[in-house]
Amino acid sequence: MNGDDWPAGIYCPAYIRRYPFLLAARTHHPDEEPSVVCVDETALVAADHDVLMKPGGVPTAAWQAVETMLRQSAAAERATRQFCHTLENFQLLEEFHAVLSPLNGSELRLPKMWRIDEARLRRLPAERVRELLLDGSLAAIHAHLLSLENFSVLLDRYAVPRH
């Protein structure tokens, strides 16, 4: 599924919107910035995409938009890694196993997922909460807690038969 197939009114994650493109690193070194654009060429052939390059390899506005989205996505991934590191340092993560049971009867298990432990968050000393507030993590924590409510939206999407 690509971003164009996503239902109107439901947030489509950048991870899906960026398809058929992916920004990757040249090596497996953890500090290397992604710099190689990978493309699922079959999706470009099968779909009606804008022209990405002019003759001579000159990028078009469509390509520049793709490249901007990929760079923003990579920056968001770096910020997410830093946020997860902060959550680990504050010992706020707990493992959980989601079990979705839609009306169509086929159960979906999502093992080894992680979420913020609200009880641990409430027990943090005020100075630690202040640290999270000042570095922007507290807002992201609350966004995460709210996003957990979207499991019901995922359940609804899973329950709809695919053709």
In this predicted model, what pLDDT tens digit does every residue of 27-37 receive, in sequence order?
Answer: 787 777 778 88
Q: What are phi and psi of 115, to 5 degrees?
A: -145, 170
On whether the pTM is more than 0.95, the answer is no
Let me know how long the chain is: 163
- The dihedral through the CA atoms of 30, 32, 34, 39 has a sign that is negative
161: tokens are 């038969």
In this predicted model, what pLDDT tens digit does every residue of 123-153 receive, in sequence order?
Answer: 999 999 999 999 999 999 999 999 888 766 7
